[in-house]
Structure 1
Amino acid sequence: MNVNLEGLPAMLQQVTLASLLPALLYLVCGLVIIRFVMSALSRALKRSAIDKTLHRFILTILRIVLYFVLFMTVAGALGIQITSFVALLSVAGLAISLSLQNVLSSASCGVMLLSVKPFKVGDYVEIGGVGGTVREIGFMHTKLAAPDNKIIYVPNNEVSTSKIINYTQEGKRRVDFVFTADYACPQEDVKRALREAVAKFPKVLDDPAPFIRVSGYKEAVEYTVRVWCNTEDYWELYSDIIEAVPEAYAAHGVEMNYPYLNVLLRGDGAEKAEKIIKSE
């Protein structure tokens, strides 16, 4: 698309003092009105529930629109035909949008994240297999701090298309364990030991009640333990119970099952192995 601006100098020559004075008046009044509107909107946003990161985006878009309207009004008051300007801006806008397609996509996704709020600053989330605490939700990237304090920047267009797991949005979390015990140990003794290990910690919530049941028979008997706690207590309680179970097992005579390998030798191999053992 070609924009013909050959008549632009002629249009500018049509500007006279009679048209300049109203244009200046429009310009001054417009600047005052824009300042008033922006100030009023800024105060309204501070009182609203809209995310603070979104405030800057809304103010920037509104400022651009208001200045564009003011420019068109002043140009019209000067008697300038603005058709060519509109065509030029349309072409420029198309070119910019095509060259910045990924950038605009991330920005629009950032606005969506701030509006929908699948997570907020301070939440621990997993986005597309990457986990960390949310430090900042920007228009282009979401900033995460990994547990080892690495900073991860995830583009917002990837965030919007990835599976998001929010670990801290709810006030309570369930802590899951699988413990094993030898087949020779009575199941009631094992369950009693696990109940006592769990009951030692007041951070375990009574509602929902702890769950302790046999969940599988493999190399050893598997016992699934599920307890609930406040979200902020999750990792500390997880480690506490892991450390407390061996002591509870020992108190009730429960033997933990360890990996082992039975080797059966026959014929000459058995005789050689027996000689080696006797020689040692």
Structure 2
Amino acid sequence: MNLQAWIDKGYELMIDYGPKLIMAIIIWFIGSWIIKIILRGIRKTLEKGEYDVSLKKFLLNLISWALKIVLIVVVLGTVGVETTSFAAILAAAGLAIGLALQGSLANFAGGVLIMLFKPFKVGDLIQAQGELGTVKEIEIFTTKLKSPDNKEIILPNGVLSNGNITNFTSHDTRRIDLVFGVGYDSDIKATKEVLMNQLESHPKVLKEPAPLVALSQLADSSINFNVRPWVKTEDYWPVYYELMESTKQALDAAGIEIPYPHQVEIRKQG
């Protein structure tokens, strides 16, 4: 093929593909500009929502790649490349990856849901999946808890997001539920006064909601009283232990018996 033939071939290609190539370049630059605007808007939205930093980065990267793939497919289609097979390959690859990483994807989805809806945050005391602990770290795939005896508990986010979660520290106040049983010979009014005095005299028991003392059960060997003080969440366990001790001492001082099993020693005669 002589030089003139090459020139003629090049001219034909330029005539056939030149406008398409120019259009593809224009679409690429305009599409890239639109993607930046979209990502900027999504970033501002995520920042207003105060979402987790790792979640924001991951979502931005995921959306960015998805938009860029769409843009590439559009550009290739503009040039004249058959994109049907290309899209089919992407779909097949996505399906294969999804099946291979089914468990991980479920944990990822659970992590996204936890970070979006925030049923708990770092520092909260929660009970979930039969485990109790303080949230130490929330990651994309797992959540780490620290148990009361300082063990690390790692829970997959998939089952965590789909199960029951009890958050003990989501509110500023908590109610302490105590039960004290006294003997049937005890005066009900005097017992209630002793119990209520313990609540009203404790500096960390809140005035509102008002504490409650009520006779709750006539048991086989005792009269049981429900004692319900409200405290700040951070004061729950200190007040719990202090009331258990001080109330026992107050009942003893008032001569009010807390019944307990007695062992009777039987001696044989002879």
Q: Same fold (TM over 0.5)?
A: yes
The answer on whether the counterparts of 2:17 and 2:79 sit within 8 Å (CA) in structure 1 is no
The corresponding residue for 2:212 is 211
CA distance in 2 between counterparts of 1:213 and 1:40 reads 57
Which of 260, 263, 268 is equivalent to 1:261? 263
Which of 237, 244, 247 is equivalent to 1:245? 247
The answer on whether the counterparts of 1:177 and 1:225 sit within 8 Å (CA) in structure 2 is yes
The answer on whether the counterparts of 1:144 and 1:152 sit within 8 Å (CA) in structure 2 is yes
CA deviation profile, 1:123-152 (whole Å, cap 9, x unmatched): 211112211122333332222222223222
The answer on whether the counterparts of 2:196 and 2:212 sit within 8 Å (CA) in structure 1 is no
CA deviation profile, 1:102-124 (whole Å, cap 9, x unmatched): 11122222222333332233321
CA deviation profile, 1:33-66 (whole Å, cap 9, x unmatched): 4345434432332133555554234312211211
The corresponding residue for 1:11 is none
For the residue of structure 1 that corresponds to 2:197, the secondary structure is: helix
CA distance in 2 between counterparts of 1:183 and 1:47 reads 61
For the residue of structure 1 that corresponds to 2:214, the secondary structure is: strand
CA distance in 2 between counterparts of 1:162 and 1:41 reads 30
CA distance in 1 between counterparts of 2:63 and 2:55 reads 12
Deviation for aligned residue 1:206: 2.3
The answer on whether the counterparts of 2:136 and 2:146 sit within 8 Å (CA) in structure 1 is yes
Taking a change above 3 Å as real, the CA distance of residues 40 and 212 of structure 1, as seen in their structure-2 partners, is closer
CA distance in 1 between counterparts of 2:123 and 2:26 reads 49
The corresponding residue for 1:84 is 85
CA distance in 2 between counterparts of 1:88 and 1:122 reads 45
The answer on whether the counterparts of 1:180 and 1:257 sit within 8 Å (CA) in structure 2 is yes
CA distance in 2 between counterparts of 1:253 and 1:184 reads 11
For the residue of structure 1 that corresponds to 2:255, the secondary structure is: coil
CA deviation profile, 1:181-218 (whole Å, cap 9, x unmatched): 33333333322222222222122122332222332323
Structure 2, unaligned stretches of length 5 or more? 1-12
The answer on whether the counterparts of 1:216 and 1:223 sit within 8 Å (CA) in structure 2 is no
CA distance in 1 between counterparts of 2:153 and 2:176 reads 27
Structure 1, unaligned stretches of length 5 or more? 1-13, 273-280
Letter in 2 for 1:102: G
TM-score by length of 2: 0.81
Q: RMSD over aligned Cα, in angstroms? A: 2.8
* % same residue: 35
For the residue of structure 2 that corresponds to 1:222, the secondary structure is: strand
Deviation for aligned residue 1:21: 5.6
CA distance in 2 between counterparts of 1:95 and 1:191 reads 68
CA deviation profile, 1:54-98 (whole Å, cap 9, x unmatched): 423431221121110222133224432122211111111111111
Structure 1 residue 230 corresponds to structure 2 residue 228 = no
Deviation for aligned residue 1:30: 4.3
Q: Which moved more, 1:210-219 or 1:32-41?
A: 32-41
CA distance in 2 between counterparts of 1:164 and 1:226 reads 24
CA deviation profile, 1:226-278 (whole Å, cap 9, x unmatched): 11122222111111111211321233122333332235x5xxx6215xxxxxx
The answer on whether the counterparts of 1:53 and 1:114 sit within 8 Å (CA) in structure 2 is no
Letter in 1 for 2:220: K
The corresponding residue for 2:96 is 95
CA distance in 1 between counterparts of 2:209 and 2:49 reads 36
